[in-house]
């Protein structure tokens, strides 16, 4: 249960505190990949992309494949968590939330057409 303030800053403070405690800043880690190739993490809300490659091995790769995230699959970024990550994607008719640190390892090709109403 959280106290009820009218803005988000108290939560962001908690985020910041956790960041200090863990010494981790996932934004820095996750964006490294985006400069070279287009990754799923870089796709904006309402945009479409086609999966090219999964830079995963072993169990993670299997999980993604089982969900239907195969090379060639079309994905739409549907909504973003208030804290920026995870992002929910429409994948083969279902809505699946993935973390930024994972989607930054999924290489995609952006499909330019923007969906109406989303």
Partner 1 sequence: MSVKVKVSFIQEKHEDLEKGHDYLVALAGNPNTGKSTVFNQLTGLKQHVGNWPGKTVVRAEGTLEYQGNRYKLIDLPGTYSLLSNAVDEEIARNFILFGHPEVVILVVDSTCLERNLNLVLQVLEISDHVVVCLNLMDEAAKKGIEIDVNQLSRDLGVPVIPTIANKGEGLKELIESVAKVASGRTHTRPHHFSLEPEISNAVEKVTPYLEKLVENIPNSRWITLFLLEGDARIRETLETGELARRAHVNKKVVKPKTSELKELYRLIEETSSSIQEPIHDYVVTSIYADAESIASRAIQRSESSSKHDFDAKIDKIITSRKFGFPIMTLFLIGLFWITIVGANVPSQLLADGLFLIEEHLASVFKSLEAPLWLEGFVIHGVYRGLAWVVSVMLPPMAIFFPLFTILEDVGFLPRVAFNLDRLFQWSGAHGKQAITMCMGFGCNAAGVISCRSISSPRERVIAILTNNFVPCNGRWPTLILMATMFVAGIVPAKTSSLFAAVILAIITLVGIFATFFVSALLSKTLLKGENSFFMLEMPSYRRPQFLPVLYRSFIERTIKVLYRAVVVAAPAGGIIWILGNVYIGSNSLMTILAGSLSSIGRLIGLDGMILLAFIIALPANEIIIPTIIMGYTGASVMTEIASLAELQALFVANGFTIVTAVCLMLFSVLHFPCGTVTYTIWKETRSLKWTILSNLIPLTVAFIACFIVAQLAYLIGFV
Contacts with partner 1, residue ranges (CB under 8 A): 1-6, 8, 11, 14-15, 17-19, 21-22, 24, 26, 56, 59-68, 70, 78-86, 88, 91-99, 101-102, 117-118
Please give the structure tokens belonging to residue 3: 């106290």
Please give the structure tokens belonging to residue 106: 């999924």
**Least CB distance from residue 37 to partner 1, whole Å?**
20
Distance CA 84, CA 109 (A): 22
**Least CB distance from residue 33 to partner 1, whole Å?**
16
**Least CB distance from residue 111 to partner 1, whole Å?**
18
Task: CB nearer to partner 1: give 49 or 106.
Answer: 106
Sequence-separated (6 or more) residues with CB below 8 Å from residue 79? 45, 87, 88
Task: CB nearer to partner 1: give 97 or 109.
Answer: 97
Distance CA 85, CA 111 (A): 22
Please give the structure tokens belonging to residue 4: 């009820």
**Least CB distance from residue 115 to partner 1, whole Å?**
11
Distance CA 93, CA 28 (A): 32
Task: CB nearer to partner 1: give 38 or 45.
Answer: 45
């Amino acid at each position: 249960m959280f106290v009820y303030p009218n803005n988000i800053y108290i939560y962001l403070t908690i985020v910041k505190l956790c960041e200090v405690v863990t010494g981790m800043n996932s934004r820095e880690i996750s964006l490294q990949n985006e400069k070279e190739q287009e990754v799923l993490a870089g796709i904006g809300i309402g945009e479409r992309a086609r999966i090219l490659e999964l830079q995963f091995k072993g169990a993670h790769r299997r999980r993604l494949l089982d969900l239907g995230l195969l090379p060639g699959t079309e994905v739409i970024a549907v909504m973003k968590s208030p804290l920026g990550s995870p992002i929910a994607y429409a994948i083969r008719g279902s809505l699946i939330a993935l973390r930024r640190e994972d989607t930054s390892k999924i290489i995609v090709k952006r499909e330019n057409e923007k969906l109406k109403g989303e």
